[in-house]
Structure 1
Amino acid sequence: MTTIQHDSASVLSLISPALRADLIAMVREDYWPEMTDDQGERGVDQLAAFLAVAASTTERATPGLRVDLFWHAAILHTKPYADFCDALGGFIHHVPDRNNPEHNPAEGRAALRRTAEMIRAAGFDADPEFWPVDGAADCTQSYAGCTDSPNSGKSE
């Protein structure tokens, strides 16, 4: 696994305070009403870390369910999302695969664990509330095959 180190402060600064507030509000309104302000702030940070890693690896990166909620909100902000991706080296596609009959929950947990490891190796914190890797099949979107597109810029 090759992981590029990132200056986490620089990556986090790519998300404006206004966009950060809107992402938190959207996730709270649409998916997670009991989310605290602290969880929202940490969620945006974990999204930024995930996307930075996804942009800099050829391996599939798989978000935890809560990170994926923030990713869904970010994608709806097409211009700032595209600008964020461009700053990281290229567009990061969201690739759902909900109808994969070969889905294996153990493989999903392993993919989530690898992604959290890549995030740490890239110089970010992997917040355990957003990367539940031990026996948390219901807490990962990876069971549905939700991933980034390796080699950003290429569609799958």
Structure 2
Amino acid sequence: MAITRAATAIRTGRSLVTEADFATLAAFCADEYGMDRGLADRVVDQALALAHVMGVTGEGARMAPSRQVDPGWHTLILHTGWYAAWCEEQFGRFLHHEPNSKVRTRGLMSDVVSRIRAAGFEVDERLWGTPAECNAPACCGDGPCC
């Protein structure tokens, strides 16, 4: 007897919002943080996936964005009305910002990445380095200084 597995679709953070909302968020991120639009798209995608995992698991205080994903997380939060409604729709509650930026260790980033991946999201590995490995704004192989 052959065993077959159903293909598991990999989700993106982008799929959690409308195309119009994603475009607004990514354009803001690009402008506010001086990124090209392609990088901003990637950053916002990963921030949405992170926020979703934080909200669903209730483990937000134990998670942190990488230095490269942090502008995307702030982009979500700075759109307060939209963000509050999105949180309510996704989690039934508001997901507060609980800064954890001083502990961006390799271990923490690996744990965050594994949680995002376990939730079925695509992970952009180049955006999840630790501060010791990368320089701002995104020098993990895709920035101009690398």
- 1:110 pairs with 103, 107, 110, which one? 107
Query: Where do 5+ consecutive residues of structure 2 fail to align?
Result: 1-8, 137-146
**Partner SS state of residue 30, structure 1:** helix
| TM-score normalized by the length of structure 1 | 0.66
| TM-score normalized by the length of structure 2 | 0.70
- The yes-or-no answer on 1:119 pairing with 2:116 is yes
Shift in Å at residue 108 of structure 1? 2.6
Equivalent residue pairs, number: 127
1:44 partner letter: V
RMSD of aligned C-alpha atoms? 3.0
- 1:91 pairs with 84, 90, 94, which one? 94
**Greater CA deviation, 48-57 or 84-93?**
84-93
Q: Deviations along 1:113-144, whole A, 9 cap, x unmatched?
A: 110110011101110122115952656xxxxx
> Over alpha carbons, which structure has the higher Rg?
2
Q: Check the 8 A contact 1:14/1:84 in 2, yes or no.
A: no
Which 4+ residue blocks in structure 1 deviate beyond 3 angstroms? 11-14
CA distance in 2, matches of 1:14, 1:126: 15
Greater relative contact order (Cα < 8 A, sep 6+): 1
CA distance in 2, matches of 1:48, 1:97: 17
Query: Where do 5+ consecutive residues of structure 1 fail to align?
Result: 1-5, 140-156
